[in-house]
Amino acid sequence: MLLAGRNAVITGCNRGIGKRILTTFAENGSNIWACVRKPSDEFERYVKELSARCAIEIWPVYFDLKDAAQIKEAAKTIMSTKKKVDVLVNNAGITYNALFQMSTIDKMKEVFDVNFFAQMIFSQFIVKLMLRNKRGSIINIASSAGIDGNAGRSVYGASKAAIICATKAMSAELGGKGIRVNAIAPGITKTRMLSSMNEEIIQESVQASHLKRVGDPDEVAKACLFLASDMSSYVTGQTLRVDGGLG
């Protein structure tokens, strides 16, 4: 129960890594604003069952990261509850695989809008709540592609590299106010996004890793739990690779 009595905001909770982070945080005692793009009966049912099983509160929040007005309204919804926010996990994002010569400016803007600008805008709102309590932990889900510069991932990798740079700058600015900011850089992980990648590229990445396998969302969620909890109370400004040894 590493997060007992705490409140977390998590984006992209409806599948993959985000859903596993949601579950892991709930199982460790955190109340959660579970942010997803649009409502679904399946998601509503899942969070209701998870909330009951773990004896915590889960408040679904719906907004599209491509829409600045929706981001603002979602933040206002969270702020209107007058509850403290202890943890923010910026997990939601989109993937994109293409050679840089084949990447249009419109696609570049879309990827950066979701993977970088939306994360920064949302964080600005949530940080205001953390400042009231003079403590908090922000975790940005980046990617090993943002460090390694893989072929075919120039746009996606650049958007994640921007998040990694912002993580360091945010940590420097917010550390004196009791707010820690870290990033996690997953490698190849068993999620729906994996289906967008060429099988040959997947196998090349697996063979390049020290553990010779694809990662599981649970392994990323556990790293996220560590950074959200007091177990990492002296860790900030860091990017934790959870990639089976790609680096």
Q: What is the set of active-site residues?
A: 156
Q: How far is CA 61 from CA 69, 145, 160, 219, in A?
A: 14, 29, 24, 25
Print burial letters for 168-182: b (CB count within 10 Å at least 16), e (below 16): bebbeebeeeebbbb
Provide DSSP, 24-66.
HHHHTT-EEEEEESS--HHHHHHHHHHHHHHT--EEEEE--TT
Q: Are strands 87-90 and 7-11 parallel, antiparallel or unpaired?
A: parallel
Q: Which two tokens stand for residue 234?
A: 């002296």
- Measured N-to-C along each axis, helices 217-228 and 16-27 cross at an angle, to the nearest 10 degrees, of 50
